């Protein structure tokens, strides 16, 4: 019996060891899910055999078979593991959906929150996900097929340098605090459609190798998309940017859409590059907008877009065709406390109301201080390598308050555009620019004038010699602008429009040419309006005739000839047409002088009158 007892004791130890190993395996799996390991408490809980298990063993011994004893102990052990409490059992682990998500991510599975019924995610939970996720060689986390659809991230969301393998779905996600995707890499299609970003959002230096969709996304704070490479299509259709939006030095290599997008604050596309078609149709820019240095290499569409504040396209390059069909630009607004709100060009920080005000000088009756609010659209020094079209409708002209300073306009087309407040200082290629439809300039003086000339006239006031010299230089440049515009309309067989530009050219020459030429042009302007004002030349002719008649009647004839005024008048008329029947011997010395003047001046005035009447009829 002793030997049998020893044998039975050994058998008990073997069975218990097998039971312990099996339970250790189960505990190991549970602990691995929870992120821990097997503890000494687990071993104690398993090896602490209660009296009931010993009674089962004694019962099996009485049966007399070893096999039965082993089977009974195994069944009793399994039953005890799941039904019988230990003396001081630890609380059983409770596995949450988030625990199962962590286990899936740790084994390289998809980061799919909706599948695990997760609708809210805290900052700590996000950090756990990124910590347990597989790491790249440089130690950055990788998420496979991430799905955050309709998930609310309640704290800061920091995806710095995270790599997203497979499609990334953030549709309808809500980011309640600061969001950071700085230097993140999206290797497949990425969707942020209808996502809401409540705090500051940062995608700086992120890389999108496939489609990136932000349609109807809402950014309530500052949004940074600078230094980004969008390799595939990029869509921000109907997105809303409430805070400042930055797309500085961003490369859009695929089709890009900002149609119907609302930019409610300052927007910057400084030095951005659009390599494929870009669509800004019906977008709204409420704050200052900066496209300076941007490059448009394919067709670009700004149709029906609205620019409600200053817009700058300075140093931009247009390689493909660009359309501004029925686009609305900011208009001048009332001056308030010496500062004009609305306008266009910013030079030296003192441009207001569509007019450049340098160093606080008086422009248009308004004192422009150095600190002033500006608005409008700037195309200064823009390189246009393909077509650029600004288009309005006949009954509602496209108002363009802007500037094309030092820009070649050879490939620009204006269709039904109001250019009354557009500046062209030092622009070139105006003779090749296409002015179609009802495109017009300022007409406050019954002729078309450039805004540059309006500014020059409105600044008439005592000036120093240096200022006068600078004005003459500007007037000379403006004369060239008018000359180019006149040539363009003459080539288009539009003689009435060409006449207005000829008048403007002469006006600028009257300010810029040498003293002698200016005096001659003064006379030309006075007697005939540069050959374009028939009433003025007719009045001048009548004045000369009446004056000559009066002098001849009083002093021109000897006493023996005509006592009435009829004869002198006929003499004057005959002298004008070189058909006089008077004997010149009856004239006094004064009469002879009047006759010479009439023979010189009369035909000139008569010819000018005929030409101006002819020009007016043709117009």
Residue 23 has pLDDT above 50, yes or no: no
* Tokens coding 186: 């999206």
pLDDT reported for residue 566: 47
Give the pLDDT confidence of 386-424 residue by residue, as tens digits. Answer: 778 888 877 778 888 788 888 888 888 888 888 888 899
Q: Which residue has the higher pLDDT, 147 or 24?
A: 147
Pairing label, strands 402-403, 376-378: parallel
Cα of first residue to Cα of last residue in the chain, in angstroms, is 138
Distance (Å, whole) CA 120 – CA 23? 35
Least confident of 83-87, 268-272, 408-412: 83-87
Q: Tell me what the mean pLDDT of segment 37-66 comes to.
A: 49
pLDDT reported for residue 579: 61
Residue 65 has pLDDT above 80, yes or no: no
**Residues contacting residue 409 through CB under 8 Å, at least 6 positions apart:** 384, 424, 427, 428, 429, 430, 432, 433
Residue 14 has pLDDT above 50, yes or no: no
pLDDT reported for residue 470: 82
What DSSP string describes 520-566?
HHHHHHHHHTTTT-HHHHHHHHHHHHHHHHHHIIIIIB-TTS--SSH
| Angle, CA of 107, 111 and 113, to the nearest 5° | 130
The one-character DSSP state at 147 is: E
pLDDT reported for residue 85: 53
pLDDT reported for residue 153: 96
Q: What are phi and psi of 427, to 5 degrees?
A: -75, 155
What DSSP string describes 65-123?
-HHHHHHHHHHHHHHHHHHS--SSPPPPP---HHHHHHHHHHTT-EEETGGGT--EE-H
Q: Which residue has the tokens 């308050």?
A: 401
Cα 320 → chain centroid:
17
pLDDT reported for residue 517: 87
CB atoms within 10 A of CB 250: 24
> Of all helices (H) and strands (E), which one includes residue 597?
helix 589-618
pLDDT reported for residue 55: 57
**Residues contacting residue 617 through CB under 8 Å, at least 6 positions apart:** none
Pairing label, strands 168-169, 245-246: unpaired
Give the pLDDT confidence of 178-208 residue by residue, as tens digits. Answer: 999 999 999 999 999 999 999 999 999 999 9
Task: Annotate 524-540 with b (16+ C-beta within 10 A) or e (fewer).
Answer: ebebbbbbbbbebbbeb
Residue 356 has pLDDT above 50, yes or no: no
Contacts of 481-490 with C-beta under 8 Å, sequence gap 24+, read: 481/424, 481/427, 481/430, 481/450, 481/452, 482/450, 482/508, 484/428, 484/429, 484/430, 484/431, 485/430, 485/431, 485/435, 487/431, 488/430, 488/431, 488/432, 488/433, 488/435, 489/435
CA diameter of the chain? 185
The one-character DSSP state at 298 is: S
Dihedral sign for Cα atoms in the order 408, 410, 411, 416: positive
Give the pLDDT confidence of 248-258 residue by residue, as tens digits. Answer: 999 999 999 99
Strand partners, 274: 252, 296
Share of the chain above pLDDT 70, in %: 72
Residue 553 has pLDDT above 70, yes or no: yes
pLDDT reported for residue 614: 72
Give the pLDDT confidence of 498-531 residue by residue, as tens digits. Answer: 888 888 898 898 888 888 888 888 888 888 888 7
- Is the model's pTM score more than 0.75? no
Contacts of 613-619 with C-beta under 8 Å, sequence gap 24+, read: 613/534, 613/538, 615/495, 615/499, 615/531, 615/532, 615/534, 616/534, 618/495, 618/496, 619/495, 619/496, 619/499
**If you count DSSP H runs as helices and E runs as strands, how many of each does the chain have, helices first?**
13, 49
The one-character DSSP state at 394 is: T
**Residues contacting residue 42 through CB under 8 Å, at least 6 positions apart:** 23, 24, 27, 31
SS3 11: helix
Residue 22 has pLDDT above 80, yes or no: no
Residue 358 has pLDDT above 90, yes or no: no
For residue 363, which of 398, 386, 338, 399 has the smallest C-alpha distance? 338
């Amino acid at each position: 019996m002793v030997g049998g007892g020893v044998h039975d004791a050994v058998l008990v130890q073997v069975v218990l060891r097998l039971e312990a190993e099996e339970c250790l395996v189960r505990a190991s799996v549970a602990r691995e899910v929870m992120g821990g390991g097997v503890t000494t408490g687990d071993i104690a809980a398993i090896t602490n055999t209660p009296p009931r298990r010993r009674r089962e063993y004694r019962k099996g011994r009485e049966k007399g078979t070893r096999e039965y004893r082993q089977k009974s102990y195994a069944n009793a052990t399994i039953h005890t593991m799941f039904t019988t409490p230990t003396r001081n059992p630890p609380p059983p682990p409770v596995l949450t959906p988030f625990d199962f998500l962590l286990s899936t991510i740790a084994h390289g599975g998809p980061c799919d929150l909706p599948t695990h019924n997760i609708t809210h995610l805290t900052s700590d939970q996000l950090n756990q996900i990124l910590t347990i996720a597989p790491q790249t060689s440089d130690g950055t986390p990788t998420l496979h097929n991430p799905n955050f659809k309709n998930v609310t991230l309640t704290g800061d969301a920091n995806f710095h340098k995270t790599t997203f393998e497979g499609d990334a779905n953030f549709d309808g996600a809500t980011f309640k605090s600061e969001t950071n995707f700085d230097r993140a890499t999206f290797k497949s299609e990425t969707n942020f459609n209808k996502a809401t970003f409540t705090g500051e959002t940062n995608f700086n230096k992120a890389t999108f190798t496939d489609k990136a969709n932000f349609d109807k996304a809402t950014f309530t704070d500052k949004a940074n998309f600078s230094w980004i490479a969008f390799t595939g299509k990029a869509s921000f259709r109907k997105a809303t940017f409430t805070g400042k939006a930055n797309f500085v030095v961003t490369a859009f290599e695929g089709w890009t859409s900002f149609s119907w997008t609302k930019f409610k604050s300052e927007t910057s596309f400084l030095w951005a590059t659009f390599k494929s078609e870009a669509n800004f149709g019906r977008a709204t820019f409420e704050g200052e907008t900066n496209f300076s240095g941007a490059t448009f290499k394919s067709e670009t569409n700004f149709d029906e877009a609205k620019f409600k504040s200053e817009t700058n396209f300075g140093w931009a390059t247009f390689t493909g065709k660009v359309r501004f069909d029925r686009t609305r630009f900011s208009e001048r607004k009332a001056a308030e406390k010496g500062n004009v709100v609305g306008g266009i060009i910013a030079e030296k920080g003192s441009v207001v109301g569509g007019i450049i005000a340098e160093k606080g000088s008086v422009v248009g009756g308004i004192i422009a201080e150095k600190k002033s609010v500006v608005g409008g659209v700037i195309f200064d020094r823009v390189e246009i390598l393909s077509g650029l079209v600004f288009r309005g409708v006949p009954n509602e002209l496209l108002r363009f308050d802007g500037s094309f300073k030092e820009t070649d306009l050879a490939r620009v087309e204006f269709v039904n555009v109001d250019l009354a407040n557009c500046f062209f200082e030092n622009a070139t290629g105006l003779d090749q620019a296409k002015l179609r439809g009802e495109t017009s300039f300022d007409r406050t003086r019954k002729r078309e004038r450039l805004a540059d000339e309006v500014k020059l006239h409105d600044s008439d006031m005592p000036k120093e010699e240096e200022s006068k010299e600078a004005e003459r230089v500007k007037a000379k440049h403006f004369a060239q602008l008018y000359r180019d515009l006149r040539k363009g309309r003459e080539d288009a067989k539009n003689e009435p429009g060409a006449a207005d530009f000829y008048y403007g050219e002469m006006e600028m020459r009257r300010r810029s040419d040498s003293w002698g030429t200016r005096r001659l042009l003064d006379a030309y302007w006075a007697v005939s309006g540069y050959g374009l004002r028939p009433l003025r030349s007719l009045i001048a002719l009548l004045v000369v005739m009446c004056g000559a008649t009066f002098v001849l009647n009083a002093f021109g004839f000897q006493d023996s000839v005509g006592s009435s005024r009829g004869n002198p008048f006929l003499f004057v008329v005959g002298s004008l047409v070189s058909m006089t029947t008077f004997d010149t011997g009856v004239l006094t010395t004064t009469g002879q002088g009047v006759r010479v003047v009439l023979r010189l001046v009369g035909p000139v005035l008569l010819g000018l009158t005929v030409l101006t009447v002819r020009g007016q009829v043709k117009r």
